Amino acid sequence: MSTKVLFGFHAITIRLKTAPQSVIEIHVDTGRRDQRMRQFAERATAAGAKLVDSSDTQLQKMCGTHRHQGVVARVQPVALSHSLDDTLDELDSVGGNPLLLVLDGITDPHNLGACLRVADGAGAHAVIAPKDHAVGVNATVSKVASGAAETVPYFMVTNLARTLNELKDRNIRVIGTSDTATKSIYDIDLSGPVALVLGAEGAGMRQLTGKTCDELVSIPMRGAVESLNVSVASGVCLYEALRQRDGKT
C-alpha cells in the first residue's frame, strides 16, 4: 500500500487520535526540544508510534517545505468513504440532513486546506471538487487543514455538472454563490438538504456550474473589496446553514 506524508503538530496529532494504527513512523527534529515537542513526543509514544530522530534538512526533503514545525509522519492512507454515493446512502439510512460544500476550480492547496477545516467545523458531510482544474489532498493541504483532511471526505468527480444534477435527483438543493446575484445568502432557507457551490476567488464558478445550480446567492459586501477568499466565503455560507439548522435566530 502506498504511503503519504503528514506534517505539523495538528495534522499528525489528529491522525494519532483517529487512526493511530495507520502511523508508520514520525520523524522529529533533533534540534527542537521545547515543551510542545516534548508533549507531542509523549503523546505519540503513548499512542504506540515509532519516533525517528531527523535533521531539519531531512524533514524538509520529506515534506517539501520548511513549515513542518519539526514533525513529519509517514502514514498509510485512511479511507473516509469509498464514494459520494456511499456517503449519501449512509446519511439516508439514518435520516441525515446532507450539508455539502462544492468547490469549483480551487487549485491553491492552502485554500483547499482552509476550506476543509471550515467544513469540519461546520459539520459538513463532504467536500466535492472536479478532477480537472482542482488540487487534491497533499501534505500542504493536510497541514493547513489542521486534521480536517483526516475527518472530512473529499471527493473529486469527473463531471461536476452531472454530479450536481445527481444531487438534485436526491432532493438536495444546489445553491451557488455569485457576486452578481440579487438574493443574499441570508435570504434563503438552508435548513434542508443543501449543497453550497463556491468558485475560485476572482474567476468564480464556471458558467456551466452556475447554470446547473438551483439558485444563485451573494454574500453582502459593505467595504471596498469586491470578494472574499474562498475559504472565508465557505465559512460564511456553511455557518449560516449551521445557524439555521440549529434553529437559532
Domains of the chain: 4-75 (3.30.1330.30), 84-245 (3.40.1280.10)
Number of H helices and E strands in the chain, helices first, is 9, 10
* Cβ–Cβ < 8 Å for 169, 73: no
Distance CA 104, CA 160 (A): 8
Q: Whole-prediction pTM value?
A: 0.73
| Residues 246, 28: Cα–Cα separation, whole Å | 42
- pLDDT tens readout for residues 92-144: 877 789 999 999 989 999 999 999 999 999 999 999 999 988 888 888 898 88
178-206: per-residue pLDDT in tens? 988 999 999 999 999 999 999 987 778 89
For 67, 72, 156, 189, the CA distances from 203, given in Å and listed in that order, are: 29, 35, 20, 26
> How far is residue 183 CA from its own chain's centroid?
27
Angle at CA of residue 216, ends 211 and 221, nearest 5°: 135
Write out pLDDT tens, residues 8-35. 888 888 788 878 888 999 999 999 989 9
| Whole-number pLDDT of residue 80 | 59
Q: Count the Cβ atoms, other than its own, within 10 Å of residue 108.
A: 18
Mean confidence (pLDDT) of the chain: 90
Cα–Cα distance for residue pair 231/112, rounded to 1 Å:
7
* Cβ 176 vs Cβ 197: under 8 Å: yes
All cell numbers assigned to 211? 447554470
Would you call 176 exposed, middle or buried from its count of C-beta atoms within 10 A (0-12, 13-18, 19+)?
A: buried
Task: Decide: helix, strand or coil at residue 217.
Answer: strand
Task: Report helix, strand or coil for 212.
Answer: helix
